[in-house]
Amino acid sequence: MQKPYSSLTLAGVLLFPVSSIATDVSVAGLFSGKAVVTINGGTQKLLRAGEQTPEGVKLISADSNQALLEIDGKRMTLGLGQGASTGGAQASGGQASVTLTADAQGHFITLGSINGNATHFIVDTGATTVAMSSAEAKRMGIAYQKGERGFSSTANGIAPVYRVSLNNVKVGAISLNGVTGTVHESAMPVVLLGMSFLNRVNMKREGDSMVLTKRY
């Protein structure tokens, strides 16, 4: 069971993989010929068809249902609330790799996706699984109430928790299928990137940087 999230103090600071490692894009709004996107966790930008950002993200077309984007030269179609990550580095030997940078309190926080939906992660080696709030699970369309039910002790008492299987969890260039997750009926500001993901990567920390390299 996960350690209480209250042990992590975020101080409202989110840091993401450096742009030379990956470009993370999520769609926050859709209109005819326009889309609102978030790039590498920054502020939202309104793009018009044909417009390109300094990060290399270009809107090809958009309507109320989806946007066709060109990200680092690759074209992708994303719906509202969906995200994508491209340009991830390859470690020696060809393994997918991503580099994270710690905040002032030593926490590694990054933008990634679950089942194609953009979300924020915090690396937490004390969490046994990828853990999230029920509100976040609902936003991503995860039918968590069909999962295995259990209970967790929180600061507000005993709360139900559901064990689920996540089809895909992606951070930078690292994409893993069939990752165990847990959904908590309590508020959590970000998703915990726990050991069900981290056990499948090599973790190497050097100062304020952490390199994750896919193992299998």
Chain CA centroid to CA 78, Å = 15
Report residue 137's pLDDT band, with 50, 70 and 90 as the boundaries. Answer: very high
Q: Please give the pLDDT value at position 157.
A: 73
Chain CA centroid to CA 17, Å = 11
Kindly state the helix (H) or strand (E) to which residue 94 belongs, with its residue range: none
Residues 6+ apart with CB under 8 A from 6: 155
Report residue 41's pLDDT band, with 50, 70 and 90 as the boundaries. Answer: low
Percent over 90 (pLDDT), the chain:
41
Q: Please give the pLDDT value at position 85.
A: 64
Structural domains of the chain in order of their starting residue, each with its CATH number: 23-86 (2.30.30.830), 89-214 (2.40.70.10)
Give the C-alpha separation, 150 to 96, whole Å: 34
pLDDT digits (tens, 9 = 90+) for 155-191: 667 878 999 999 999 998 899 999 999 999 888 889 9
Q: Extract the tokens encoding 158.
A: 């005993």
Coil/strand/helix, residue 103: coil
The reported pTM is 0.60
Q: Extract the tokens encoding 212.
A: 């994750």
Give the C-alpha separation, 206 to 216, whole Å: 23
* Residue of 44 and 148 predicted with greater confidence: 148
Q: Please give the pLDDT value at position 26.
A: 77
Q: Please give the pLDDT value at position 113.
A: 92
Coil/strand/helix, residue 90: strand
Dihedral of alpha carbons 133, 138, 142, 146, sign: positive
Q: Please give the pLDDT value at position 86.
A: 61
Give the C-alpha separation, 96 to 182, whole Å: 25
Q: Please give the pLDDT value at position 195.
A: 94
Neighbouring CB atoms inside 10 A of 166's CB total 21
Coil/strand/helix, residue 122: strand
In 66-207, beta strands by DSSP E: 66-71, 74-79, 83-86, 89-90, 96-101, 109-114, 117-123, 130-133, 148-154, 157-171, 174-184, 191-193, 201-206
Residues 6+ apart with CB under 8 A from 96: 88, 89, 90, 172, 173, 174, 175, 213, 214
Q: Please give the pLDDT value at position 216.
A: 66
pLDDT digits (tens, 9 = 90+) for 65-122: 889 998 877 888 878 777 666 655 454 445 788 888 888 888 898 888 999 898 999 9
Q: Please give the pLDDT value at position 5.
A: 39
